Amino acid sequence: MPEALLVACPACSTLNRFPRERLTGGSAGKCGQCRSPLFTGHPVALDAGSFEAHAQKSDIPLLVDFWAPWCGPCKAMAPQFEKAAGRLEPGMRLAKVNTDDEQQLAARFSIQGIPTMILFKHGKEIARQSGLMDAGRIESWATQALR
């Protein structure tokens, strides 16, 4: 029997079983609950309610951009983070957390400056990087951190 991964739906955060071999096969799959695609190639907006499903329960590594709408470097990095999501998914989920709206999450992870990216695997922080990065550097940093 093929090994199944737990993957959180980007739309409703429901956990879905997804065959590991389909990660590289280009098959996106759909959520069993809401029927949305499990992989969209775009960052997912997370809040306190959806964060746990994606960071701790999903088997897919999660790269989170902690940002705020008033932050100039955050605005400049947003299209780069979007581009990186298209290249890194489905092997890694990219997500954004608005620190103005989710102050408890920002405090929980001691976010001192923004933008700050944190890479999680099975709920554990693997790596952290602050400051503006282009898509290539985001991809390189994240993939090296997972090795």
Q: Label residue 95 left, alpha or beta by phi (over 0 means left) and psi (-120 to 50 means alpha).
A: beta
Lay out the sheet containing 93-98: strands in order across. Answer: 44-45, 93-98, 62-67, 116-121, 124-130
Q: Is the dihedral of CA 20, 18, 39, 125 positive or negative?
A: negative
Q: Give CA–CA dist 63/92, Å, rounded.
A: 7
Phi and psi torsions of 79, nearest 5°: -70, -30
**Residues taking part in catalysis:** 71, 74
Q: Give CA–CA dist 110/114, Å, rounded.
A: 11
